[in-house]
Structure 1
Amino acid sequence: MAEKGIRTQDWAAFRAEAQRMLEAALDQMQQAAERPWQPVPEDIDARYAVTAEARGPQQTVDRIIADVLPYHGGNTHPRFWGWVQGSGLASDLISSVAAAAVNANMGGRDHGANYMERAVVDWTRRKMDLPEGASGLLVTGTSQATVIAFQAARLRVLKDLRKQGQGEARLTAYAGEGVHNATLKAVELLGIGSDNLRKVPLTDGRMDCVALARMVAEDKAAGALPFLVVGTAGSVDLGLFDDLNALADAAAALGLWLHVDGAFGAWTRIAAEPYRSLSDGIGRADSIALDFHKWMYVGYDCGMALLRNEAEHRAAFAARPSYLEGAERGLAGGEPWFCDYGIDLSRGNRALKVWTALETYGEAAFSEAITGNCALAAFMAAEVEAQPYMALGAPVVSNVCVFTARSDLEPEAQSMLNAHIAQTLQESGEAVFSTTRAGGRVMLRAAITNHRSREADVQAAIAAVAREAAG
């Protein structure tokens, strides 16, 4: 179907192609177990090259089916446990269709999508035990949420920051060893500087609050202005959790803003015990960063910044030039506008996919899936320990299992073998592990944030590791 300009003229033909695309997308999701990651072809650049020629919907859909759907990142597959990536939901198709049709700009004004985002923020606030009136904003992910939270934290101690900048003040922030890279990027981006992010030692996998107090005192004596401590709810490498109640007590005593990196681990708040208690105390934070596209499984991208004090949140970002003035009536109403709470003026409708997922499956289904992922990590640990030469790199706390395929080898040989096994199984399509370092060795790592995974997948994957380890 040829089109003149960018205005669709033959809606019947376009509807047929859109339905064909929908069927292909449904097949992709339904057959996820049969479609693992695969290496992209050598001519992929040529296939994706943008030309001046208009091909029309039919040829475009043909190309998407042939050249786009097969070469995905693999995280929809039930044996994908690499890094910490969510698996996507069938409900995302429904919400994406609706979002495309409406094309909402979530920066502000008076339309339904903004009320939906407020409902999603309020639901999340309640799940995280924050008080009524706390503020929130859907963002690209925890990295952006961290920047938003840190900016509000800076404004608490530097009242004229937005006009005068940080000046000569040397702000210092504190986080446990192994904190997520989002924190490092945020302090660099905001001009605080990575040298002023102080790494606090861990005791039994948790930030040492005695050491924190000592470091804060030392920095104050040196003329610095300590302002922020970052707690971790689910560390990237091992799935560890700080004692958030103890950290909240310490932050209050030391006059620090408490931020919690809960990118995936915050969602233990809706899991069953014993996993729910891992995040006890999270509701005492001044701010929380979390992702829906990880352990709530919705499609990329979708994160949230939650801040306890709405006034502090708004003060950090609100700016209304004359062309954005609100009104009591009409489309320019609908206060507050989300553009006053973050970096973006133009914002897509992330709330719709969260709302659609919760409406479709119900909160209990997500609780069961998150709890089940933790149980699968424990099951994987048992499978590892049942193998004669495999060994865990650390006890499983939540949903992360780290292990070596051959504990009988020297550390360097173990590292080489584990890295080789990870790459081999990725390329064969059998399973996706990532790697990390623990105990001075490169180890295999499974971060289970996949609602499609089952015990049979774990058994098959560990058997494949054992086969490759035997060589």
Structure 2
Amino acid sequence: MTLDPENPEAFRRAAHRLLDACLDQFEAARDHPWQPVPQAVRDGYRLDHGLGVGEAELAQRLAAEVLPHGTGNTHPRFFGWVHGTGLASGLMSELVAATMNANLGGRDHGAVDIERAVIDWARSVFGFPQGSSGVMVTGTSQATVIALACARMRALGPDCRAHGQGGAWLTAYAGAGVHNAAKKALELLGLGGDNLRAVPETAAGVDIAALRAAIAADRAAGARPFAIIGSAGTVDLGRFDDFHALADLAQEAGLWLHVDGAFGAWTRLAGAPWRGLTDGIERADSLACDFHKWMYVPYDCGMVLVRDEAEHRATFAARPSYLAGQSRGLAGGEPWFCDYGTDLSRGNRALKVWAALVAYGPDRLGAAITDNCARAAQMGALVAGDPHMALIAPVMSNLCVFTADARLDTVGQSALNTRIAQDLQLSGEAVFSTVTIGDVTGLRAAITNHRTQAQDVDRAIAAVARARDAR
């Protein structure tokens, strides 16, 4: 009994046909915007029929029923949310990763060395010191849990792993625009989402005076402040905190500084003036970021860096006897990555990053990031040049948030912008998401696609204008 192909040659032919279908779609990304999935296709996904058909028919079904029905984020006019867009190197590396089927929890094998190389490279990009540690994760949400668990360990000491936090009342601080992952992390760690203080922001990020006052007020009330969370690109408006100011305050107050850099951290690879947005990020105690957003690699692929390796390891290391390391053989390879996070079984995420760096190099990737920022600036200029559109906030990096018709009241603007987003998604012309700032729900473009060109921005804003005028 085996689950390997009964006919290897037939499997090879079917796999080649499927690869060709993938390559065809990859090369024609402009022809594949998001479209609703037909009900007949949805019904075909059910697992109460059509099972056990073998690899050849599976290949046909994957090409015909699965491949065409993604989110459309590979399309150059997909600006919704902050979605990554994929690379040719990712297609190749995922093929190899699936064939290897390596478990990156630990042990001594090549994939572990590749992950270490990727973390070393990222450490140098972000200016973290030698001896700092890191681990590849699903994304910034998981990375934030890991980072704040380390911060809790520093605040409470190692006994908190066995005994919990007892009566300690821990509080954390972030700008009001911080990603919801920070609140979720506090909830998952048992600290309570209400203990994340939302500090007012200015155009330059979190208000440092307000932050200082919030920390003092909590201490006076008997709380134990333990962490500040900075944002490298807020999800609503793309704001960047002043990391030098946050680091100064964290050092003065004895708090952990974590930076949510899900997409914006990668401005470290961009040209001027955008690189300067992340000055000071090297002073953080921890950093969370995603390769699957603004480094374009396939989902899922994130990373957490922690300045103090000993604190990182002490927070998570727990090796039962059956996982004991050995001096030689496959059980060697210390340290194991399972000692730095929540996962024992881990996929080969780092290979996607390694492949992208080998294929394109950081300069070419950085140029794509720079161009995305330039396209966002172009969109902002087009909005400002339209007699009826208006920016809701200045364009800082790759996000542009605007309203299609500022002549309307806030209710009218919100309704119009929501309708335009839906209409353009359904037509396939462009994908904007929406975000509510104050009383207005605006259109939001997050440009994280290396395929996006100036003509795509022109066409998208023209489509918004047509949809507005057609109401």
Normalising by the residue count of structure 2, what TM-score does the alignment of the two structures yield?
0.98
Q: Following superposition of structure 1 onto structure 2, how do residues 229-268 of structure 1 map, counting pairs within 5 Å?
A: 229-268=228-267
Once residues 439 and 155 of structure 1 are traced to their aligned partners in structure 2, the CA distance between those partners, rounded to angstroms, is 37
Instruction: Work out whether residues 5 and 55 of structure 2, in 8 Å CA contact, stay in contact via their aligned partners in 1.
Output: no
Once residues 343 and 314 of structure 2 are traced to their aligned partners in structure 1, the CA distance between those partners, rounded to angstroms, is 15
Q: Following superposition of structure 1 onto structure 2, how do residues 1-400 of structure 1 map, counting pairs within 5 Å?
A: 5-50=2-47, 51=49, 53-159=51-157, 160-400=159-399
Q: What one-letter code is carried by the residue in structure 2 that aligns with 1:338?
A: F
Structure 1 residues 379-399: Cα deviation after superposition (integer angstroms, max 9, x where no partner): 001111222211111110110
Instruction: Work out whether residues 393 and 439 of structure 1, in 8 Å CA contact, stay in contact via their aligned partners in 2.
Output: no
User: Number of paired residues?
Assistant: 468
- Secondary structure in structure 2 of the residue aligned to 1:217: helix
Q: What one-letter code is carried by the residue in structure 2 that aligns with 1:16?
A: R
Once residues 430 and 203 of structure 1 are traced to their aligned partners in structure 2, the CA distance between those partners, rounded to angstroms, is 34
Once residues 416 and 133 of structure 2 are traced to their aligned partners in structure 1, the CA distance between those partners, rounded to angstroms, is 48
- Secondary structure in structure 1 of the residue aligned to 2:435: strand
- Secondary structure in structure 2 of the residue aligned to 1:362: helix
Q: By how many angstroms is 1:5 displaced?
A: 5.0
- Secondary structure in structure 2 of the residue aligned to 1:436: strand
For the aligned residue pairs, the C-alpha RMSD in angstroms reads 1.0
User: Which moved further from structure 2: 207-216 or 236-245?
Assistant: 207-216
Instruction: Work out whether residues 106 and 346 of structure 1, in 8 Å CA contact, stay in contact via their aligned partners in 2.
Output: yes
Instruction: Work out whether residues 225 and 255 of structure 2, in 8 Å CA contact, stay in contact via their aligned partners in 1.
Output: yes
Q: By how many angstroms is 1:357 displaced?
A: 0.6
Structure 2 unaligned residues grouped into runs of 5+ = none
Instruction: Work out whether residues 175 and 230 of structure 2, in 8 Å CA contact, stay in contact via their aligned partners in 1.
Output: yes
Report whether the alignment pairs 1:437 with 2:436: yes
Report whether the alignment pairs 1:411 with 2:410: yes
Q: By how many angstroms is 1:440 displaced?
A: 1.3
Q: By how many angstroms is 1:44 displaced?
A: 3.2
Once residues 351 and 368 of structure 1 are traced to their aligned partners in structure 2, the CA distance between those partners, rounded to angstroms, is 22
Once residues 384 and 153 of structure 1 are traced to their aligned partners in structure 2, the CA distance between those partners, rounded to angstroms, is 42
Structure 1 residues 36-74: Cα deviation after superposition (integer angstroms, max 9, x where no partner): 100011233321112373111121111111111111101
- Secondary structure in structure 1 of the residue aligned to 2:214: helix
- Secondary structure in structure 2 of the residue aligned to 1:354: helix
Runs of 4+ in 1 over 4 A off after TM superposition: none
Normalising by the residue count of structure 1, what TM-score does the alignment of the two structures yield?
0.98
- Secondary structure in structure 2 of the residue aligned to 1:316: helix
Instruction: Work out whether residues 147 and 304 of structure 2, in 8 Å CA contact, stay in contact via their aligned partners in 1.
Output: yes
Q: By how many angstroms is 1:376 displaced?
A: 0.3
Q: By how many angstroms is 1:8 displaced?
A: 1.7
Q: By how many angstroms is 1:203 displaced?
A: 2.5
Q: What one-letter code is carried by the residue in structure 1 that aligns with 2:178?
A: V
Once residues 70 and 16 of structure 1 are traced to their aligned partners in structure 2, the CA distance between those partners, rounded to angstroms, is 21
Once residues 261 and 20 of structure 1 are traced to their aligned partners in structure 2, the CA distance between those partners, rounded to angstroms, is 41
User: Which moved further from structure 2: 253-262 or 431-440?
Assistant: 431-440
Once residues 179 and 354 of structure 1 are traced to their aligned partners in structure 2, the CA distance between those partners, rounded to angstroms, is 26
Once residues 269 and 424 of structure 1 are traced to their aligned partners in structure 2, the CA distance between those partners, rounded to angstroms, is 36
Structure 1 residues 86-137: Cα deviation after superposition (integer angstroms, max 9, x where no partner): 1111111110111011111000000010010000000001001111111000
Structure 1 unaligned residues grouped into runs of 5+ = none
Once residues 240 and 374 of structure 1 are traced to their aligned partners in structure 2, the CA distance between those partners, rounded to angstroms, is 13
Once residues 211 and 391 of structure 1 are traced to their aligned partners in structure 2, the CA distance between those partners, rounded to angstroms, is 30
- Secondary structure in structure 1 of the residue aligned to 2:449: coil
Once residues 253 and 149 of structure 2 are traced to their aligned partners in structure 1, the CA distance between those partners, rounded to angstroms, is 19
Q: What one-letter code is carried by the residue in structure 2 that aligns with 1:34?
A: D
Q: What one-letter code is carried by the residue in structure 2 that aligns with 1:381?
A: G
- Secondary structure in structure 2 of the residue aligned to 1:409: coil
Once residues 339 and 226 of structure 1 are traced to their aligned partners in structure 2, the CA distance between those partners, rounded to angstroms, is 29
Once residues 425 and 73 of structure 2 are traced to their aligned partners in structure 1, the CA distance between those partners, rounded to angstroms, is 11
Once residues 233 and 22 of structure 2 are traced to their aligned partners in structure 1, the CA distance between those partners, rounded to angstroms, is 32
Once residues 154 and 445 of structure 2 are traced to their aligned partners in structure 1, the CA distance between those partners, rounded to angstroms, is 39
- Secondary structure in structure 1 of the residue aligned to 2:113: helix
User: Which moved further from structure 2: 161-170 or 37-46?
Assistant: 37-46
Q: What one-letter code is carried by the residue in structure 1 that aligns with 2:41?
A: I
